[in-house]
Amino acid sequence: MKRPDLETLALIVEEAPDAVLLLSPSGRICFANASACELFQRAPQELHGLNFGSVVISMEPTEVVIATGQRKLVTADMRTLSLKVGDHMSTAVYLRDVTDRKQIETILIQAKETAEHANRAKSEFLSSMSHELRTPMNAVIGFAQLLEYDPHLNQEQLENILEILSAGRHLLELINELLDLAHVESGVMQLDIQPVKLCEVLQGCLDLLQPLADQRAIQLSYRCDGALKVSADPMRLRQILVNLISNAIKYNRRQGSVHISVHALDNHRICIAVEDTGNGIAEDQMNRLFQPFSRLGNTDDAVEGLGIGLSITQRIVQLMGGSIGVESRLHAGSRFWVELPDATPQNAAIGIAAPRAGMSSSPSAIQGHVLYIEDDGANLRLISRLLVERLGIRVTGAATAREGLALAQHHRPDLILLDIGLPDKDGYKTLSILKAEPDLRDIPVVALTAQAMRGNAEQGLAAGFTEYITKPFNTERLLRSVTRLLGPSPSSKPVEGNGHDGP
């Protein structure tokens, strides 16, 4: 194909939608196309010979703010190209007006900051008010309970006291829900994640809710393998189950049924499903289910509550690394399900793995001392139990880099597991200190971290980590790595005993 002639090229540049300038070696404008004249709001003769720097307010490598002939500021994306014109090097400058886009971005950022500030203020208000209301409510309920056992009360007085107690307890539940909502929205809810026997918690919830079911002649049933465990906060798991089951009872038809099924999934998760025979949920209301203060589209005033239980449940489930969903058909009932990490010993993704071929489950198979530096208490307890119970080795825990370095000097462990996101000194700095100590430099150090972006592992290995294992970790791989690094032979120094030291 024949190259276009100079006249054609000049026409293309002149008609280009972006501003095109050609600057002399001294920075003066030698050429400006029509879009440049429009951008600067100047005639071609006004731009010709003008020093480009004289109209520049600020400049970054890819962005420039310029002053136009009408005393307006314009923000433009900028690209430059050095090229030889005759015997001199000149600079071609390409500009695209992004002023409107920048203004929109600024408005969006300001709106986001305003919304976040309002949300924080709302959460702080709810938290403060909830705490303030709890104190008098506890007094109301407490004194009502004292009166309840007064032997001098007649039947009418006793019934009045029971009404006060019922209303007081209901109000306290609403206050607790508001407080929970404030906690999850402000990000201050603390969870104690641990392996929990699911069926025991489920049975306790059913015992609690049986009277509510009896009031509406609702039949409760469940199916659950007693060996199943989930990785969860026990108290919050109970709260999740109580909310889902109580909703299934309250929004059910009279003399209906609620069935809870529990089963393990192939992705190392356990599914808990709550099915009811209620009226179901219309499709146009499904997207409002998990919004605060939405009561499933129910307008029956007999159903008590603020409509924030599902919103709180969803956020707690997510904080525990799980997911929640719903399937429903109008007039045919609903099925709410929750998936949580499986902590059952024989197949848990986190927890204690079953012995594999070539790996002995006997505590005497290997010996050694592992130092685990980790600020998350749940992770520290999990790894410690895993190594102690499956491999029978001694584990010492440290919650900070400073504590870990001191323990490393004192104990001279055979292996160090090191989190990278430590509160006082990151894992890389800690590793460099370990490698600088003659007595510690030969100890293998394994990174056990949530930093799992592309290139993180390569960076860790290049820094000197013996291995780089990401969370959530694969139990089998971790046990293999520890076994290999400690070796099947007894440790070269005496082992004082198996167990878990430290926090």
Q: Mean pLDDT across the stretch 227-245? A: 88
How many Å apart are CA 445 and CA 485, to the nearest integer? 10
Q: pLDDT category, 345, cuts 50, 70, 90?
A: low
Looking at 196-200, 305-309, 478-482, 484-488, which range is the least confident one? 305-309
Please state, in angstroms and rounded to a whole number, the distance separating the CA atoms of residues 309 and 322. Answer: 17
Same domain, 326 and 411: no
pLDDT digits over 389-432, tens only?
Answer: 778 888 898 889 999 999 999 889 999 999 988 888 889 999 99
Q: Do residue 182 and residue 152 come from a single domain?
A: yes
CB atoms within 10 A of CB 330: 12
Is the pLDDT confidence value at 253 over 80? yes
Residues 177 and 199 in one domain: no
Please count the other Cβ atoms lying within 10 Å of the Cβ belonging to residue 279. 20
How far apart (Å, rounded) are the C-alpha atoms in residues 241 and 272? 9
Residue 1 lies in a domain: no
Q: Which domain holds residue 147?
A: 115-186
pLDDT at 353: 30
Question: Do both 201 and 333 map to the same domain?
Answer: yes
Distance CA 129, CA 127 (A): 6
Same domain, 204 and 178: no
Pairing of strands 229-232, 269-276: unpaired
The answer to whether the beta carbons of residues 393 and 369 sit under 8 Å apart is: yes
Rounded CA-CA distance 148/352 in Å is 50
Instruction: Determine whether 228 is exposed, middle or buried from the number of CB atoms within 10 Å of its CB (0-12, 13-18, 19+).
Output: buried
Final residue belonging to a domain, choices 127, 160, 186: 186
Structure tokens at 77: 């994306």
Q: pTM for this structure?
A: 0.41
> What spatial distance separates the first Cα and last Cα of the chain, rounded to whole Å?
76
Distance between CA 422 and CA 465 in Å, rounded?
16
109 belongs to a structural domain: no
Residue-level pLDDT at 129: 67
Same domain, 93 and 154: no
CATH number for 49: 3.30.450.20
User: Rounded CA gap, 434 and 194, in Å?
Assistant: 31
Does residue 148 form part of some domain? yes
Asked if 224 and 305 sit in the same domain, the reply is: yes
Instruction: Report the chain's mean pLDDT, rounded to a whole number.
Output: 80
What is the structure's pLDDT at 19?
A: 93
Phi/psi class of residue 472: alpha, beta or left (left: φ > 0; alpha: ψ in -120 to 50)? beta
Q: Distance between CA 42 and CA 34 in Å, rounded?
A: 10
pLDDT exceeds cutoff 60 at 44: yes
- Sequential DSSP letters for 66-125: EE-TTS-EEEEEEEEEEEEETTEEEEEEEEEE-HHHHHHHHHHHHHHHHHHHHHHHHHHH
> How far is residue 435's CA from residue 263's CA, in Å, rounded to a whole number?
47
379: its two tokens: 């992770």
Residues 207 and 315 in one domain: yes
Question: Is the domain of 207 the same as that of 140?
Answer: no
DSSP state string for 443-461: S-EEEEES--STTHHHHHH
pLDDT exceeds 50 at position 356: no
CA distance 74 to 470: 47
Q: Could you tell me the CATH number of the domain that includes residue 126? A: 1.10.287
| Cα–Cα–Cα angle for 441, 443, 444, rounded to 5 degrees | 115
Give the number of other Cβ atoms within 10 Å of residue 320's Cβ: 20
Pairing of strands 257-264, 219-223: parallel
Number of compact structural domains in the chain: 4
Domain ends where: 166, 186, 206? Answer: 186
CA angle 254, 216, 263 (to 5 degrees): 85
pLDDT tens digit string along 199-209?
999 988 888 88
**Which residue bears the tokens 């204690």?**
352
Q: Are 348 and 268 in contact (CB under 8 A)?
A: yes
Same structural domain for residues 93 and 149? no
Q: Establish if 105 belongs to a structural domain.
A: no
Determine the pLDDT at residue 415. 94
Residues 241 and 318 in one domain: yes
Q: Is residue 359 part of a domain?
A: no
**Can you list the alpha helix ranges (DSSP code H) found in 187-197?**
none
Q: pLDDT at residue 361 above 90?
A: no
**pLDDT range class, residue 310, cuts 50, 70, 90:** confident
Q: What is the mean pLDDT of residues 25-38?
A: 92
Position 436 in a domain: yes
Give the lowest-confidence range in 184-198, 288-302, 387-401. Answer: 288-302
Q: Which of 157, 186, 215 is at the close of a domain?
A: 186
Q: Do 182 and 233 sit in the same domain of this protein?
A: no
Greater model confidence, 228 or 362: 228
Q: Which helix (H) or strand (E) holds 394?
A: strand 394-398
Q: Assign 490 a pLDDT band (cuts: 50, 70, 90).
A: very low
The verdict on residue 108 lying in a domain is no
Residue type, position 99, single letter: T
Is 33 domain-assigned? yes
